Amino acid sequence: MSVAEKVRTGRPVAAREPRVADEHGRRIRGLELVWRYLLLLGVLALTVGPFLWQLSTSLKGPTEDIFSSPPTFLPEHPTLHNYERVAETIPVWDYALNSLKVAAANVVTNCVGSALAGYALARLRYRGRRAATLAFVLAMLVPVEGIVIAQFTTMRELGLNNTLVGVVLPGSVAAMNVLLMRNAFLNLPYEIEEAAFVDGANVWQRFWRIALPSVRGTLAVVAIFAFMGAWDDFLWPLIVLSDPSKFTLTIGLNYLHGTFANDERLVAAGTVIAVAPLIVLFACLQRYFFRGVGEGAVKG
């Protein structure tokens, strides 16, 4: 007897139909979960696959075919000789040290400058605050290529051409990082700062002891973005630097493409050397990075 007939006759409806519906719902959710994981695996293959191929190429010897189809990711005879050849061809460690100096300075200036500017935009009351916020938003819309000539002229007038300071200065405080810090500070409850104000805390004390410890996740995000931007930058160091002894790693590795264009093993080894510090940095700060997405909440 169908459910409709049971309802018309007044007979009780068995509880089998809800169980069938629950099983059908679980089956649909299981299929959605499978498709979701398949999509994530596809994205993982597209993002990590090229790096794994470069890593595999850098470990292959001269007798192995690196253009086989399908590609082989596991070298038959792994070797580190390609990394030794990179160090013999260019002063890669000197270039890496220059890049590390630039990236570290960029991280410090962006963390300090963005935190101060973000706090001022989010928590302080003064005339022109909205105009200042709009200026930072508009600064993000200006392409770097459109202002690179003006930046180069400014560095030349300041006598900072062909110096690492000239490389750091234009990107010392990024507009995006300022807005990230502003949004993090905006999520903090005003009542906490008001209580600190009643207790006699001034602006610097409220910033240093209350606001800044609550946005450490966003500060880690700013540090990662600043380090990656400075470490991977190629155009601006290429324009402002002319002394080979001051080249950053991205410019120095360009010599591998020019002189050894057909030796993909050497280029792959240089690429891995350039990417390794970024992986280490993200591995150390990943928990702060993901926590920075919902920054600003106060426990208690």
Residues 241, 281, single domain; the answer is yes
Does any domain span residue 2? no
For residues 73 and 37, membership in a common domain is answered with yes
H helices of the chain, in order, are 3-9, 16-58, 81-89, 92-123, 129-141, 144-157, 164-168, 175-186, 190-198, 203-206, 212-214, 216-232, 235-240, 249-252, 254-259, 264-291
Question: Do both 85 and 189 map to the same domain?
Answer: yes
Please give the tally of structural domains in the chain: 2
Tokens of 228: 């990656």
Task: Looking at the structure, tell me whether residues 71 and 118 fall in a common domain.
Answer: no
On whether both 117 and 194 belong to a single domain, the answer is: yes
Structural contact between residues 269 and 58, judged by C-beta atoms closer than 8 angstroms: yes
Asked whether residue 8 is domain-assigned, the answer is: no
Measured CA to CA in angstroms, residue 92 lies from 96, 228, 229, 292 at distances of: 6, 18, 19, 34
Contact 219, 181 (CB under 8 A): yes
d(C-alpha 271, C-alpha 79), whole Å? 16
Measured distance CA(121)–CA(225) in Å, rounded: 21
Final residue of a structural domain among 59, 79, 99: 79
Same domain, 164 and 130: yes
In which element (H, E) is residue 59 found? Answer: none
140 and 128 in a common domain: yes
pTM, to two decimals: 0.79
Q: What's residue 191's pLDDT?
A: 85
Answer yes or no: is 66 within a domain. yes
Is 237 among the domain residues?
A: yes
The closest of 230, 190, 2 to 105, measured between CA atoms, is 230
Both tokens of residue 21? 């519906």
Choose the final residue of a domain: 23, 54, 79: 79
CA angle 163, 167, 173 (to 5 degrees): 140
Report if residue 174 sits inside a domain. Answer: yes
What's the CA gap between 218 and 222, in Å, rounded? 6
CATH number at residue 153: 1.10.3720.10
- pLDDT value of position 299: 45
Are residues 255 and 150 part of one domain? yes
86 and 228 in a common domain: yes
Give the up-direction half-sphere exposure of residue 28: CA atoms within 13 A in the CB hemisphere.
Answer: 6
Instruction: Give domain status of residue 10, yes or no.
Output: no
Task: Give CA–CA dist 102/104, Å, rounded.
Answer: 6
Distance CA 91, CA 219 (A): 33
**Token pair in block for residue 49:** 């696959």
Q: Answer whether residue 5 is part of any domain.
A: no
Residues 124 and 174 reside in one and the same domain: yes
pLDDT, one tens digit for every residue, the chain (300 residues): 544 554 455 555 454 556 666 676 677 787 888 888 899 888 888 888 888 888 888 888 888 877 777 777 788 888 888 898 888 888 999 999 999 999 999 999 999 999 999 999 998 888 888 999 999 999 888 888 889 999 999 999 999 999 999 999 999 999 999 999 999 999 888 888 888 888 888 888 889 888 998 888 889 889 999 999 999 999 999 999 999 899 999 998 888 775 445 678 888 888 899 888 888 888 887 777 666 555 544 444
**Residues 73 and 197 grouped into a single domain:** no
The verdict on 30 and 90 lying in the same domain is no
Q: Out of 40, 60, 79, pick the residue that ends a domain.
A: 79
Rounded CA separation 294/30 (Å):
29
Per the structure, the complete domain to which residue 47 belongs is given by 15-79
Q: Measure the CA–CA gap between 152 and 239, rounded to whole angstroms.
A: 8
Residue 1 inside a domain? The answer is: no
